[in-house]
Structure 1
Amino acid sequence: MVPNHLILCMLLFYVNCDDSPDKRILLSDPDYVQQQLIHLQSELQSLQATVQSQNTELHTQSGELQTLQATVQTQTSEISSLKQQLVQANSDGGGSTFVRWGRTDCPANLTELVYSGYAGGSWYGHSGAAADPLCLPSDPEWLQTTIVPDTYTGQIYGAEYESVNAHTLFGPKSHDEEVPCAVCRSTSFVSSVMIPARTTCYSGWTKAYGGSLASGYYAQAAASQFVCIDEHAQPVVGGGDR
C-alpha cells in the first residue's frame, strides 16, 4: 500500500510537469487544429491583400512608365525635328539680315536684297526724338486709322549727308544729299555684326561691306546712333532739295 500523502505529491508533480514549456501538443486536439486553421486563413488573407496592393501599385507605375515613355518619344521627335530644321537652315545658308547704309544694293555673292529705300529718323532738334535710324521702303502702305493731332505724334524725316567744309567723306558733291539704304539677307551666314574702328574682320568672320562710322552731330538736341555708311556711298537719285 502506498501512503496517501505520497500519491498527493505525485499528482501535484505531474500537474506541474504539464505546465512546462516543453509539453507536447496533441495534433488530434480539434480546438488546436481549429485555431491553427483560423491563424493560417488570417495570414493568407493578409498576404492576398498585400499582393493585391502591390499589383495595384505595379499597375499604377506601369501607367506612369507608359506616360513617361510617350513624353520621351514626343520630346525625341521634337528634338529630331529641330535638328532637321537646323540642318535645313545650315544647308540653305544664312538668314542673318543687316542694313547697308548709303547704298540701294547688297554685297554681291554674299547676300540678297530684301528691299531698298531711304534712311530716315527723327528731327535733329527734337529732344524727345527716337534715336534709332530706319530704312524706309519706297512703297509704304498706310493703315486706315484715326488721325491724331500733330501734338501727340512722332515724326519721321529723311536723312542727309553733311560734309562740312567741302569734305567728301560720303562721296563727291554729297553735301545735303539724301541717304539711300538697303536691307540685305545673308545667303551664307547666320549672324552679322557691325564692328567699329576696324577695316577688316576678325578671324572666322567674312566682310560684307565697310565704310565710315557716322552719327548725328554731338551738339544737337536729338540723340542718334552710330551706323556704318558704305565707303562707296551713293545719294538718292532725284532726292529732295531740303
Structure 2
Amino acid sequence: MILKYFVLCILLSHVNCEDTLEKRILLSDPAYVQQQITHLQSELQVLQATVHTQTSEISSLKQQLSQPNNGGGGSTFVRWGRTDCPAYLTELVYSGYAGGSWYSHAGAAANPLCLPPDPEWLNTTIVPDGYTGQLYGAEYESVSGHTVFGSNSHNEEVPCAVCRPKSFASTVMIPARTTCYSGWTKAYGGSLASGYYAQTAASEYICMDEDDEPVVGGADRDDNGVLFYGVKAFCGSLKCPPYEQDKFIACVVCMK
C-alpha cells in the first residue's frame, strides 16, 4: 500500500513525497501514535492547570473587591457628573442631581450637594419670603464656548452619584493629578471645577468626572443656580514651575 502511494506521489510530481511518505509511515506505527497522544495529553493537562489557576485568581480578586471593609473606617465620595459608580471597586449608595446655592447670592452655602431623586419632606409650616437658605440645581458652564467638560455640556444640568468603596477605608481627592500615588487605587479622574472667581457666592473645589454627562431629561436651558467652571492655574503665590500659567487643573479621586 505504501509502495503504491509512493509511485502515485512521484507520478503527480509532488516535491515533498519523501516527507509525506515518512509521516504516513510514522502514523502507521502504533508506538509513534501513542507517543504523540501521550505528549498531547501532557500539554492539555498543563493548559488545564493554568486555566484553573487563573480562574481561581480572578475569582479570589472579585470576592475580595465585593466584600465590604470590616476593618473599621469606611468612607463615601461623590462622583460628580455621573450617575454610576466605578465597577467592582465601589457600590452605589444613590444617584441624583447636583445642587446648591445661587451663584451670585452673598449668603450662599459654599458646598454643592448631591440631591437624591426621591425627596422626603418635613412636616413643617411653609413660611413664604422668610429668612431661609435656598436650594437650586447645578449646570456646567463655559466661557466663550470653551469648556473642559464634555462637548455640548454648556448649560446642561449636572448629575451625581454617591459611592461607597467595597474594600477601602479611605478616599481622597487629589488636585493637579491624573494618577494616584503609590499604594492608592484610582476611583475616577477628571477636571477640577469650582464657581467663577468674580461671582459673589463662595464655592468649593470638586472633581468633575472626565466622562461627565448631562442629567437625562434635563431642561437643556440656561436656568443657572450652582455653576461649575474649569479651574486654571495663576502663577505668583502659586509656584511656577511646577505649575504653568493658564493651564487647566486635573484631579483624581483615590482610595486606600
Range class of TM-score, shorter chain: 0.5 to 0.7
Distance across 2 between alignment mates of 1:222 and 1:119: 16
Alignment pair present for 1:221 and 2:196: no
What is the CA distance between 1:132 and its match in structure 2? 0.5
Matches within 5 A, 1:89-168: 90-91=69-70, 95-168=74-147
What is the CA distance between 1:89 and its match in structure 2? 6.7
Aligned partners of 1:161 and 1:179 also within 8 Å: yes
What is the CA distance between 1:106 and its match in structure 2? 0.2
SS in 2 for 1:229: strand
What is the CA distance between 1:149 and its match in structure 2? 3.1
Aligned twin of 2:172:
193
**Higher helix content, 1 or 2:** 1
Gaps (5+ residues) in structure 1? 1-87
Distance across 2 between alignment mates of 1:89 and 1:235: 30
Aligned partners of 2:100 and 2:135 also within 8 Å: yes
Distance across 2 between alignment mates of 1:130 and 1:180: 19
Match of 1:146, as an amino acid?
T
Distance across 2 between alignment mates of 1:90 and 1:235: 32
Aligned partners of 1:93 and 1:189 also within 8 Å: no
Aligned twin of 1:182:
161
What is the CA distance between 1:239 and its match in structure 2? 0.8
Distance across 1 between alignment mates of 2:180 and 2:111: 25
Match of 1:166, as an amino acid?
G
Aligned twin of 1:236:
215
How many residues matched? Answer: 155
Aligned partners of 1:113 and 1:185 also within 8 Å: yes
Aligned partners of 2:141 and 2:147 also within 8 Å: no
Structure 1 stretches of at least 4 aligned residues deviating more than 4 Å after TM superposition: 88-94
**Higher strand content, 1 or 2:** 2
> Over the residues paired in the alignment, what is the CA RMSD in angstroms?
1.8
| Larger radius of gyration between Structure 1 and Structure 2 | 1
SS in 1 for 2:74: coil
Distance across 2 between alignment mates of 1:119 and 1:220: 19
Aligned partners of 2:76 and 2:163 also within 8 Å: yes
Deviations 1:114-166 (A, max 9, x none): 00000000001100111000000011011111112323111011000002222
Q: 2:151 aligns with which of 147, 172, 182?
A: 172
Aligned partners of 1:118 and 1:181 also within 8 Å: yes
Distance across 1 between alignment mates of 2:203 and 2:214: 20
Aligned partners of 2:69 and 2:166 also within 8 Å: no
**Residue 197 to residue 136, structure 1, CA distance change in 2 (3 Å):** same
Distance across 2 between alignment mates of 1:207 and 1:93: 21
**Residue 117 to residue 198, structure 1, CA distance change in 2 (3 Å):** same
Distance across 2 between alignment mates of 1:169 and 1:238: 22
Aligned twin of 2:190:
211
| TM-score (structure 1 length as normaliser) | 0.61
Q: Give aligned-pair identity as a percent.
A: 79
